[in-house]
Structure 1
Amino acid sequence: MATTRIEAGFYFLYFSFFPMLLSASGSYPQAQNVTWKSTNFKTVLVWEPKPSADYSYTVELSPVGGNAQRITNCIRSSQTMCDLSTAMTDPKACYVADVLSQPPQGATSELSEFPHKTSPKFCPYDDTELDRPKFTLEVSEGSATLNVTDSPTAIANGHHLQTLRDIFSERLHYRVTYWKNKSTGKKTSNYNTSMIKVTGLDHGESYCFQVQAYIPSRTYGKQLGDLSAPQCSKDENQTIIEVYSPAVIISAIILILLLTGIIITVTVVCCKRKKKAANGEKKGVV
């Protein structure tokens, strides 16, 4: 009889409070698809889904083996992204982030622990993607000089944004891909400086160049950055058709014909006036 009463009491508690707990946890759904997006140490955490008006998200960042800190701009937020660039003070450390599902701003909850989703581990020094660099091009006989600008990052040193060279130092290389203009055959060379001289080029030929950041010490697949926009040298042997587009050439021909027609018209009119004036003088003399 006592056992029956205990079972009845258990079922009463279970069916009375379990729906409440289910409802409370269901009102704060766990974040999903938590991923990192990072380029030149500009690092953003993104996730799904966008919250309803009944809940929000809070982000906590932790160095692996260290203490967690709440990110000021990402506390009880309705956004599904959080910029963690400035919070990652050590680019060589590895981090994890927790996305907590909480009540919205101004609301309270009796829950002591909230649903959360932990991100994969992220190591900025090894994992951030490298953006396409910019460079200037100067060409002389048989060689080309490329002056590459070391891209700025989102990591500041005082009031100064550090460059990729500041962070990677001698580990930062550049890979140059080049080819003869209008040719499909390409060559690549690696350089450990930002001032690059490519030699062995054919004199008078036009060459095109692209540059990308290259970190040989990284794991394969993360060593190379995005390719820059191509730049080509001038071809000293180009014909006028190769230099200018057909539209420009046709426009120039039409302009020349118009000018020629105007000159001929003006010349003919002037000659007729002179002839008419001369005939008038002759009649006056007679």
Structure 2
Amino acid sequence: MSTSFSSCLLTSIILFSDLVLGSVPEPKHVTVSSVNLGAVLQWDPVTSEDNVTYTAEFARAFNENRYIQVCQNIRDTKCDFTGNISAFGIFHFRVKSVRQGNASQWVYVKAFTADLHTRIGPPSDVKLKSRSGFLDINISDPLMKIKDKTLHNTFNNVLYLVSYWKKTSREEVKTIRSEQTFLVLGDLEPWSTYCVQVQISVSFNNTAEPSRPVCKRSTSDGKTPGWMIAVILICSLVAVVAVILCLFFAGFYTCKTVHFFFPSCKLPEHYKELLTTTSNSYAFLDIQNNKELDEIFDEISIVLEQPATPIEVMKTEQESKESLEEQPLVERKDDPEFRKDIPHYGNLN
């Protein structure tokens, strides 16, 4: 409460003195803000009234009595001198407040040199690319605000401070110092996420603002683990054995088939002749040609014999006896039928 009261009292005294004496308060906390070779003069407002304006000027050190006006009667509390200075010159700045035709005393900032007092911003871009267990880092320099000036043609000793860490363990941070905008990070754990942050350091111990962290997942390091080598070796052996067995069985069954259709034993010659004769016969040729065979036959008539009567039987026997009696005796002796009919009377001698 006492602090607020003191501030209000001080403001009232200043306003009263301004009204009574007709003077204007000077701008306070005048500084030069410089980022990437820029130059912006800044100050605090002297009062909350809207009728106060400001005028800012600059001069080169070799001609400090000749100030050049850049901002006149502005209500803003800053003035940009970037387009009026060079990277290596020494410059003086001054600013005053104006109200109703009354001006305050000049407030000076002297001996500003852009290359010494500027603050380098973070890299404009940091790109990561993962390949075969490595992380490629491509750094883009920040753009300088002075025309035709770059980071490397303004500063001699430009270093890139590359900090990287595993995302799951931020406390284990590693830092690499390099003069190149392209770096390769190795010795990374495969399939792990790493974050990278870059700062630029220039001469005169001027360290830039760090870039925002950029994270990327690493890939395989290209090295085959031992267990995978063992699995590949076992699978290869199994495949070779399977191929050998397939070739063996294929050859075996091929030989069996060949021996079946082309046996090694030969048929006897008479079988060959028989097969040849049979194949060349007319019947065989007719069968091959699907022709019908012409059958040769005689007609036979079957007549049933009538049973003979007793008279016919006796007549037939009588005729047979008469025919036998008419044959010579000598011829009839050898006939078994004749001997059978002759009665035997024993030995006549």
> Using CA pairs below 8 Å that are at least 6 residues apart, which structure has the higher relative contact order?
1
Instruction: Name the counterpart of 2:73.
Output: 76
Instruction: Name the counterpart of 1:264.
Output: none
SS of residue paired to 1:137 = strand
TM-score under structure 1 length normalisation? 0.61
Q: Give the drift of 1:233.
A: 1.9
Cα distance between partner residues in 2 of 1:48 and 1:206? 46
Match of residue 160, structure 2, among 163, 166, 174: 174
Instruction: Name the counterpart of 1:99.
Output: 95
Match of residue 201, structure 1, among 180, 185, 188: 188
Cα distance between partner residues in 2 of 1:139 and 1:163? 29
Cα distance between partner residues in 2 of 1:163 and 1:46? 25
SS of residue paired to 2:135 = strand
Instruction: Name the counterpart of 2:329.
Output: none
The number of residues matched between the two structures is 200
Instruction: Name the counterpart of 1:48.
Output: 44
Cα distance between partner residues in 2 of 1:123 and 1:200? 43
Match of residue 58, structure 1, among 47, 55, 58: 55
Cα distance between partner residues in 1 of 2:208 and 2:56? 29
Structure 2 unaligned residues grouped into runs of 5+:
1-16, 221-349
Tell me how large the CA RMSD over aligned residues is: 2.8
The 5 Å alignment of 1:79-228 reads 79-88=76-85, 90-103=86-99, 107=101, 115-119=105-109, 121-133=111-123, 134-157=125-148, 162-168=149-155, 170-183=156-169, 184-215=171-202, 217-219=203-205, 223-228=206-211
SS of residue paired to 1:122 = strand
Q: Give the drift of 1:103.
A: 4.9
Structure 1 unaligned residues grouped into runs of 5+:
1-18, 238-286
Instruction: Name the counterpart of 1:234.
Output: 217
- How many percent identity over aligned positions? 24
SS of residue paired to 1:76 = strand
Structure 1 residues 101 and 232: CA distance shift in structure 2, 3 A = closer
Structure 1 residues 228 and 54: CA distance shift in structure 2, 3 A = closer
Q: Counting helix residues as a fraction of each chain, which structure ranks higher?
A: 2
Letter paired with 2:25:
P
Instruction: Name the counterpart of 1:261.
Output: none
TM-score under structure 2 length normalisation? 0.51
